Amino acid sequence: MSTYAVVALGMRLEQHFTYSIPEEMAGWVVAGARVLVPFGPRTVTGYVVSTADDCAYAGKVRPITEVLDRTPTFNAELLRFLAWTAEYYHIPLGELMRKAIPPSLHASEKTRVRITEAGRDALPALPPPQPLLELLARVREASLARALATESDSRVKALLEEGLIERLTRIETGGTQGGFETVVRIVDAAAAPGGQRQKEVVDLLRTRGDLTLTDLKAACPAAPRVVSDLAKKGIVQTEKVRVYRQVKSVMLAPPAPERLTGQQEAAIETIAAAAAAGGNRSFLLYGVTGSGKTEVYMRAIDRVLASGRTALVLVPEIALTPQLMARFQARFQQRVAILHSALTPRDRLDQWGLVARGSLPIVLGARSAIFAPLSNIGLIVVDEEHEPSYKQDERPFYNARDLALVRGKLADCPVVLGSATPSLESFHNVSAGKMTRIDMPSRVTPRPLPDVSLVDLRKAGFQDSHRVFSKPLADALQENLSARGQSILFLNRKGFASFLLCTVCGAVPTCPHCAVSLTYYKRAAALRCHYCEHGTPVPEVCPACTRGALKQVGSGTERIVEALTEIVPDARVEQVDSTVGATGRLPAILEKFRTGQIDILVGTQIITKGHDFPGVTLVGVLLADLGLCFPDFRAAERTFQLLTQVAGRSGRGDRPGRVLVQTYLPGHYALLHAQRHDFPAFAREELAARRMRRFPPFSCLSLVRLRGKQLPVVQEFATGLARVFEKVVDARARIDVMGPTPAPLSLVNDTFRLQVLVRAPSRPAMQAFLTAAIPAAREQLGKQAAVSWDVDVDPINLM
């Protein structure tokens, strides 16, 4: 047995620490186990990285305090994967391990009761409970009251559990006919049932196997005392065990298709053959919206399960999980684990525990599910792989889509990235020979992709007082409602108005804590900040000049709902955005829409992703230009993806669909290619522009984010950091250090934000640079309590 353990602490510390392993813990302290260790005056949680037989400074090593798990929290494959992730994203391993597990890895414990071998033979000779025998002797000599007076509190409690005192009291107080002789007869009769109850408990254990004390108590109220008596006699054994619960879907799943299309069968065979052959291969499943990609995933997983291996399926948004969860649980019954941050801590823990025990071979979840404790993985699927939500926007800054490829390589299994609008990185990887593309160009229904029309808002008139609906879109909504079709209206902005503007001085109410304007919410009669949640009542006049009225500028989902009352007053309308999602009502609303109880669904990008609504025959995009002018080199790509995805919600059933896109920029190439459903053409044009400007995928980026309450202090530190980085740059490496500059959102929650952008020609070049630059910055700049800084490798959000 090893004598020492190298432990990573669950905090922002790069250094690992060595502890001695007490002799009584020798069998439990292994790599991947959680332990309690002394750290200064505190006791903290750590994670065993490795063990050793000797230590250079053995005399100074402190012992491990406690082992928290009898089986390792992280299996060997998962531990290797976490170590790779920590190194690539430059995150302390202990901090990453703490973030990878449920927030409270302490399952509820229950007492499990099992019968012993000796207990089976002792059943016929079980004696009556001792408290009853002693009471019987006392009752024969005196009244019940005098007999009870001589009993100890613990014995009275035992008699109460037997229900005997209540029966006897009713007799003595006249509730039942009979005198002292009747009391004696009842006590005589009660002595035998005590043994009967013990036999009853043992019979339950015999027929049903091990049971928790809770289950036994439901069948026999006196079980706690009876089990205690049986345990003293060696007839049963008790132990504390963790009890895990399954999470069940609340949505109905559509039936499995009776027949597959040829393109589905070909895709399944390609993926299943790779899984059966073993080894790591990466596929890009490029299938148009409605082509049946989910069915391909499930059929391929079915083959993997049949071979005795497990599967991991990632989805980009929690909003998608209930719908996919229903489909997967309908197909695979109780073999599916659900893992995402919206679960209660207890549910997350239960799901994690069931996966770790091998009880659930399929994991379905959002980005954090990439760290699920699966063993023997046979297939990894990333649905809607283009979605930016796979990137964690706070420490640790990992990308679950990219990590899926790494975990597949470590697990030696195939990885499938699926999308109707692939990320340009994945599309480029196909051209570079790093991935194999599987095409699914047609829908599973005989209906083609919906017809898309661009409505030029420079020429079209508006039909409502809010100036939201053009005449073509208003007419289409009325016609679709008359034809009993469902409609989706998409606007990627919540609230009622984007901001308020003074008609006299032009001032805009802004957040006092963030460098952003406040969004107007009409229902709440409030102005709110979407970054720090600051809120304030709507002022009656401009707070800047105290003279002007405040005019509403721009539109949000609230305004769309109100404007619909002018266009289609009889329509059943619901609104969906992150505000609604936070209330927990989202699954119920989506289910009502899917079953036809809602006519029009108004929403932000939450409604664009992966939903299957067969009744939708019209999609309206209120303003396609919102994302095109965003200060981000990915703006055109995201706009194309959003439009294509939301358009794909239309015409998925038996009736054809149509899409109307309102825009002031009808000639933009992203809109024109989306109108034609032509992703390859868009990708070629966008990739050519990226290559010229040396943007990903033709380079690799890292973003250093610096934050602090005092702007001069943050500026000074950021300037020093940029200088250190520039000194590390090798002139031959073609690495650019840009900044420091204020972040696009330069003030959030009273915290000033600056950033330094690093560009390298490749990932290996970037890693070599960061490996040298980060320690150099820490050594030369030291710790500055007033400034915090993080490195985001492969950033998605540059704000």
SS (H, E, C) 687-739: HHHHHHHCCCCCCEEEEEEEEECCHHHHHHHHHHHHHHHHHHCCHHHCCEEEE
Supply the CATH number for residue 766's domain.
Answer: 3.30.70.600
Q: How many CA atoms lie within 13 A of 362 on its CB side?
A: 24
Co-location of 31 and 61 in the same domain: yes
Q: How confident is the model at residue 171 (pLDDT cuts 50, 70, 90)?
A: very low
Other CB atoms within 10 Å distance of the CB of residue 269: 13
Partnered with residue 416 across adjacent β-strands are 283, 381
For the chain, give the longest Cα–Cα distance: 107
Measure the CA–CA gap between 539 and 80, rounded to whole angstroms. 57
Average pLDDT, the chain: 82
The tokens for 616 are 């939708």
- 408 touches 414 (CB < 8 A): yes
Query: Is the pLDDT assigned to residue 19 strictly greater than 60?
Result: yes
Co-location of 457 and 400 in the same domain: no
What is the reported pLDDT for 180? 45
Mean pLDDT for the stretch of residues 96-100: 92
Query: Is the pLDDT assigned to residue 481 strictly greater than 80?
Result: yes
Task: Tell me which of 305 and 181 has the higher pLDDT.
Answer: 305
What is the reported pLDDT for 731? 67
Last residue of a domain, which of 103, 132, 151? Answer: 103
SS3 state at 18: strand
- 423 touches 386 (CB < 8 A): yes
Supply the CATH number for residue 95's domain.
Answer: 3.40.1440.60
- Runs of H (alpha helix) within 649-697: 669-675, 679-693
Q: Which residues have CB under 8 Å from 288's CB, separation 6+? A: 420, 440, 441, 442, 443, 449, 648, 677
Measure the CA–CA gap between 659 and 649, rounded to whole angstroms. 10
What is the reported pLDDT for 248? 58
Measure the CA–CA gap between 501 and 542, rounded to whole angstroms. 8
What is the reported pLDDT for 107? 39
Say if 537 falls within a structural domain. no
Measure the CA–CA gap between 154 and 159, rounded to whole angstroms. 9
What is the reported pLDDT for 413? 95
Co-location of 129 and 69 in the same domain: no
Mean pLDDT for the stretch of residues 411-432: 94
What is the reported pLDDT for 475? 93
Identify the domain containing residue 568 by its residue range. Answer: 451-496+555-692
Sign, CA dihedral 78-83-84-88, equals: positive
Q: What is the DSSP letter of 54?
A: -
- Helix axis angle, 180-208 to 164-172, nearest 10°: 160
Co-location of 233 and 356 in the same domain: no
Measure the CA–CA gap between 350 and 367, rounded to whole angstroms. 18
Query: Is the pLDDT assigned to residue 172 strictly greater than 50?
Result: no
Other CB atoms within 10 Å distance of the CB of residue 266: 15
For residue 182, the one-letter residue type is T
547-578 residue pLDDT tens: 888 877 777 888 888 889 989 999 998 888 77
Query: Is the pLDDT assigned to residue 87 strictly greater than 90?
Result: yes
What is the reported pLDDT for 480? 92
Q: What is the DSSP letter of 174?
A: T
Say if 57 falls within a structural domain. yes
Burial of 605 per CB tally in 10 Å (0-12, 13-18, 19+): buried
Q: Which of 68, 71, 55, 45 is nearest to 6 (CA)?
A: 55
Partnered with residue 519 across adjacent β-strands are 528
Query: Is the pLDDT assigned to residue 302 strictly greater than 70?
Result: yes
Co-location of 652 and 772 in the same domain: no
Q: How confident is the model at residue 193 (pLDDT cuts 50, 70, 90)?
A: very low
Task: Tell me which of 678 and 151 has the higher pLDDT.
Answer: 678
Measure the CA–CA gap between 208 and 23, rounded to whole angstroms. 39
Say if 560 falls within a structural domain. yes
To 5 degrees, how large is the angle CA 216–CA 354–CA 282? 165
Burial of 398 per CB tally in 10 Å (0-12, 13-18, 19+): buried
Task: Tell me which of 509 and 59 has the higher pLDDT.
Answer: 509
Provide the phi-psi class of 407: left if phi over 0, else alpha when psi is between -120 and 50, else beta: alpha
User: Can you count the helices (H) and strands (E) in the chain?
Assistant: 25, 30
Co-location of 666 and 710 in the same domain: no
Q: What percent of the chain has pLDDT over 70?
A: 85
Query: Is the pLDDT assigned to residue 711 strictly greater than 60?
Result: yes
Measure the CA–CA gap between 374 and 592, rounded to whole angstroms. 35
Query: Is the pLDDT assigned to residue 125 strictly greater than 80?
Result: no
| Lowest-confidence pick of 248-252, 258-262, 505-509, 664-668 | 248-252
What is the reported pLDDT for 467? 86
pTM for the complete prediction? 0.78
Co-location of 374 and 304 in the same domain: yes
For residue 329, the one-letter residue type is Q
Co-location of 684 and 584 in the same domain: yes
Measure the CA–CA gap between 300 and 132, rounded to whole angstroms. 64
Mean pLDDT for the stretch of residues 461-479: 88
For residue 385, the one-letter residue type is E
216-262 residue pLDDT tens: 777 777 777 788 878 887 888 777 665 555 555 545 556 667 789 99
| Lowest-confidence pick of 74-88, 97-111, 123-137 | 123-137
774-798: b (≥16 Cβ within 10 Å) or e: beebeeeeeebeebebbbbbbbbeb
Mean pLDDT for the stretch of residues 112-123: 69
Using alpha carbons, list the distances in angstroms from residue 746 to 169, 514, 559, 721, 797. Answer: 77, 8, 29, 18, 14
Co-location of 383 and 278 in the same domain: yes
SS3 state at 340: coil
The tokens for 733 are 């490496």
Q: What is the DSSP letter of 510?
A: B
- Runs of H (alpha helix) within 26-92: 76-89
Burial of 501 per CB tally in 10 Å (0-12, 13-18, 19+): buried
Say if 391 falls within a structural domain. yes
Q: How many domains is the chain partitioned into structurally?
A: 5
Co-location of 205 and 235 in the same domain: yes
To 5 degrees, how large is the angle CA 761–CA 763–CA 764? 100
Say if 514 falls within a structural domain. no
Query: Is the pLDDT assigned to residue 374 strictly greater than 70?
Result: yes
Co-location of 488 and 602 in the same domain: yes
What is the reported pLDDT for 143? 52
If you search the block for the tokens 């509730």, which residue do you land on? 175
Mean pLDDT for the stretch of residues 301-322: 87
Say if 30 falls within a structural domain. yes
| Lowest-confidence pick of 54-63, 202-211, 754-763 | 202-211
Say if 653 falls within a structural domain. yes
Query: Is the pLDDT assigned to residue 317 strictly greater than 70?
Result: yes
Q: Which residues have CB under 8 Å from 624's CB, separation 6+? A: 639, 643, 661, 662, 663, 665, 671
Q: How confident is the model at residue 761 (pLDDT cuts 50, 70, 90)?
A: very high
Q: What percent of the chain has pLDDT over 90?
A: 39
| Lowest-confidence pick of 38-42, 135-139, 222-226, 368-372 | 135-139
Say if 247 falls within a structural domain. no
To 5 degrees, how large is the angle CA 171–CA 177–CA 179? 65
**Beta strands in 534-603, from DSSP E residues, in sequence order:** 535-537, 550-553, 573-576, 600-603
Measure the CA–CA gap between 286 and 264, rounded to whole angstroms. 12
Co-location of 134 and 231 in the same domain: yes
SS (H, E, C) 288-338: CCCCCHHHHHHHHHHHHHHCCCEEEEECCCHHHHHHHHHHHHHHHCCCEEE
Last residue of a domain, which of 61, 83, 103? Answer: 103
Q: Which residues have CB under 8 Å from 782's CB, separation 6+? A: none
SS3 state at 752: strand
Partnered with residue 661 across adjacent β-strands are 454, 621
- Helix axis angle, 130-141 to 153-162, nearest 10°: 100
Last residue of a domain, which of 418, 440, 462? Answer: 440
| Lowest-confidence pick of 10-14, 167-171, 605-609 | 167-171
What is the reported pLDDT for 179? 45
Q: What is the DSSP letter of 658?
A: E
What is the reported pLDDT for 581? 62
What is the DSSP annotation of 438-500? Answer: EEE-S-SSSS-SPEEEEEETTTPPB-STTS--BHHHHHHHHHHHHTT-EEEEE-S--SSBSEE
Supply the CATH number for residue 636's domain.
Answer: 3.40.50.300
